[in-house]
Structure formats: structure tokens, C-alpha cells
């Protein structure tokens, strides 16, 4: 498990049993600039540096507000820094992962900002398979029960992340609207 975030920052952490969806430019009710400042302070307390490139990749993920593929981040980086190459983005992502500032969503091979830059608790990630929205569920008892059942079945988790696939409420509403429109068109024939 990743190193706990600084105690001074952890005071701003959410309750243990909550769910958080990512919103563009915000991380757990904190503005993008405040989130970047928290990340910078956290890195400094660990004796590491949130370099301009690492900061920019984190900023791009904050702006996205959803799971984003590395090559999409690279395309955005090239608009800012034309000479950016894949290793530039991947090294920044590796650092941000190790620091616990972002999650890797294995099921769609994408990255998203940890909902709370002050204390990543490795909850359960629910990923919309249509739009890439990610919600983090922080219910330690549920996670512990799930991990216990997985271990009782003879498995060991390959990572701290537990991902569930689904369809977010916005995509469900859009799908229902499209279905209603299709039904109306068929009925009109």
C-alpha cells in the first residue's frame, strides 16, 4: 500500500464510508489550483519534487475529470510542449502512481486522479464503460469482506485497486432517452 499522505493534509480527508465521482478541475471539493498545491506539498514532505511535467500531467487529469488514456495525455502535452514523447508522460504517470496521487484503471488502460489527494485509501473504483467517469467507494468493511472472500477462494489481488465496471447515471439517462426516441420513431411509422 502507498505511503500515507501528510497528517496536516489528512485532516481534510473524507469520512470512511463515502463515494466520490470525479468532477473536472475539482478533487473532493477542492479547486484545481488548491489540489495542485496539496500535491506539491505532499511531494515535498516525501522528499520528492512535483516537477513541471509531473504537475502538468496531474493538471491535465484534473481538467479531464474522468479516466484518461496516456496517449490522450500525450496529445494534450504536445499542444503545450511540442517535443513531448511517450516516455515523458509515462514517467510522470509512474511517479504520480507511486506517490498515490492517481489511479490506473486497468480495465480501460487509463488513469484518473485520486479523489482525495490528501489520503488515498484504496477503495473500490466504479468505472463507467461508456464515458470513463470514475467513482471511488470508500467502505472499508465492504472492501475487507470482498478481499477476504477473494483470498478464501485461493486468489491474491494483483494490485490495491478493485475495479467494478458499470454505466453511470448520466449515461443511463442518455441511453434511456435514446431508447425512448427510437421507440417513438418506430411508433410513428
For 139-154, what is the mean pLDDT? Answer: 92
DSSP 23: B
Q: Report the distance separating Cα 2 and Cα 44, nearest Å.
A: 16
Contact residues for 177 (Cβ-Cβ < 8 A; gap 6+): none
Q: Report the distance separating Cα 113 and Cα 23, nearest Å.
A: 10
Q: Report the distance separating Cα 115 and Cα 121, nearest Å.
A: 10
The answer on pLDDT for 99 being more than 80 is yes
Residue 119's pLDDT is: 59
DSSP run (H or E) holding 164: strand 162-166
The answer on pLDDT for 11 being more than 90 is no
Straight-line distance from the first to the last Cα atom of the chain, in angstroms, rounded to the nearest whole number: 59
Domain 18-188 has CATH 3.20.20.10: no
* Beta-carbon count within 10 A of 184 CB: 9
Q: Report the distance separating Cα 188 and Cα 54, nearest Å.
A: 55
> Does the pTM of the predicted model rise above 0.75?
no
List phi, psi (to 5°) of 102: -135, 160
pLDDT digits (tens, 9 = 90+) for 26-77: 455 568 899 999 999 999 998 999 999 999 999 999 998 889 999 999 999 9
Q: Report the distance separating Cα 60 and Cα 68, nearest Å.
A: 9
Amino acid at each position: 500500500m502507498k505511503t500515507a499522505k501528510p497528517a496536516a493534509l489528512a485532516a481534510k480527508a473524507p469520512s470512511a464510508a463515502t463515494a466520490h465521482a470525479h468532477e473536472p478541475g475539482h478533487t473532493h471539493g477542492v479547486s484545481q489550483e488548491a489540489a495542485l498545491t496539496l500535491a506539491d506539498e505532499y511531494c515535498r514532505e516525501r522528499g520528492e519534487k512535483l516537477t513541471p511535467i509531473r504537475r502538468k500531467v496531474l493538471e491535465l487529469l484534473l481538467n479531464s475529470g474522468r479516466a484518461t488514456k496516456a496517449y490522450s495525455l500525450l496529445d494534450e502535452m504536445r499542444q503545450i510542449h511540442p517535443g513531448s514523447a511517450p516516455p515523458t508522460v509515462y514517467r510522470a504517470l509512474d511517479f504520480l502512481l507511486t506517490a498515490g496521487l492517481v489511479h490506473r484503471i486497468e480495465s480501460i488502460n487509463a488513469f484518473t486522479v485520486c479523489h482525495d489527494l490528501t489520503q488515498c485509501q484504496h477503495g473500490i473504483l466504479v468505472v463507467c464503460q461508456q464515458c470513463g467517469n470514475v467513482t471511488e467507494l470508500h467502505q472499508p468493511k465492504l472492501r475487507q469482506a470482498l478481499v477476504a472472500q477473494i483470498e478464501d477462494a485461493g486468489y491474491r489481488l494483483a494490485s490495491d485497486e478493485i475495479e467494478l465496471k458499470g454505466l453511470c447515471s448520466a449515461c443511463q439517462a442518455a441511453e434511456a432517452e435514446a431508447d425512448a426516441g427510437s421507440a417513438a420513431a418506430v411508433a410513428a411509422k
